[in-house]
Structure 1
Amino acid sequence: MISTNAFSYADVLTKAADASYLRETLISNNIANVDTVGYKRQDVGFESVLERELGMSKYEMLDQKIENIHMNHLTATAYTDAENFSYREDGNNVDIDTENVELAAEQIRYQGLTESIDQEFSRLKSAIGN
């Protein structure tokens, strides 16, 4: 049986794309609830998880870090941001301008991730010879 980590990068990119998609959904929900009394914005914690996983092998090359990453640890988790904080009297902590900028940035990130996944599979296909 041949063991390979050929899909390791694609797996990490897929996890990142899933997190980005979830973040887009939550930001859209935040925008939809900008006028909801007491609503607290939500966001996704993924980058810190990825950074922690990659940082566990400080003196290894990126290829080795990706091979040693625990995929089951790379999960996007939604959280309520600044749960007890609100600068508005109605208790809502959504800033529409910030959310719109975050949404645009996340859309660009998602597009970059999906293009990277596509390129990774193109490289694998080229290596196979098809």
Structure 2
Amino acid sequence: MINSDVFNYVNILNKAADATWTRGKLLANNLANVSTPGYKRQDIEFQTYLADALKQGHGTLDQKVAGVNLQSIEPTIYKDNTSLSYRLDGNNVDVDTESANMGENVINNNAILESITHEFSRIRLALSNN
């Protein structure tokens, strides 16, 4: 993490990028275990933590981002629907759902990486104007 208010967006986007990377690995692992008896799909919780952290701030988005405690938006990996199984062997991975989740995750990851690039471009522009 970069310790400066100038990099608050970058630090939050970095956390989001890490979360999407981890989610991509989890989703790929779910698909790899689609035929493993008893396997329960895993996913990650991050967006709720980020939304809650931003809600606690007041004022403009800049002020909300400046006040975010980065430790409060640590992603959590969990097993999804451990009591639910789509098949008799106890596995609860649905290929169509996992594929849709992977597509969504790729879009989110690309948007986050584009936002990080944009933030660094803004910082570079501000530094070059001095």
Counterpart Cα distance in 1 of 2:107 and 2:20: 10
The alignment status of 1:7 with 2:7, answered yes or no, reads: yes
Which residue of structure 1 aligns with residue 86 of structure 2?
A: 87
How far is the alpha carbon of 1:87 from its aligned partner?
A: 2.5
1:4 is displaced (CA, Å) by 4.7
1:71 and 2:70 equivalent? Answer: yes
Shift of 1:62: 0.8
For structure 2, which runs of at least 5 residues remain unmatched after alignment? Answer: none
- Structure 1 runs of 4+ with >4 Å offset: none
Please give the alpha-carbon distance, in whole angstroms, between the structure 2 residues aligned to 1:55 and 1:82.
28
CA distance in 2, matches of 1:33, 1:125: 44
> How many angstroms apart in 2 are the aligned matches of 1:100 and 1:124?
36
What residue in structure 2 maps to residue 28 of structure 1? 28
Pair 1:45 & 2:45 matched: yes
Larger relative contact order, structure 1 or 2 (CA cutoff 8 Å, min sep 6): 1
1:106 and 2:105 correspond: yes
CA shift digits 1:16-39 (9 cap, x unpaired): 010000000000000000000000
Structure 2 length normalisation: TM-score?
0.93
The separation in 1 between residues aligned to 2:20 and 2:124, in whole angstroms, is 26
- Give the structure 2 partner of residue 124 of structure 1: 123
Give the number of aligned pairs.
Answer: 127
Question: What TM-score results when the alignment is normalised by the length of structure 1?
Answer: 0.93
> How many Å apart are 1:90 and its aligned residue?
0.8
Work out the CA distance in 1 between the residues paired with 2:59 and 2:48. Answer: 19
Given that 2:86 and 2:93 are in contact with CA atoms closer than 8 Å, whether structure 1 keeps it comes out as: no
Q: 1:39 to 1:4 in 2, by over 3 A?
A: closer
| Whole-angstrom CA distance in 1 between matches of 2:28 and 2:99 | 9
Query: 1:53-100: per-residue Cα shift (whole Å, max 9, x none)?
Result: 11113x421111100000111111110001111131110000001101
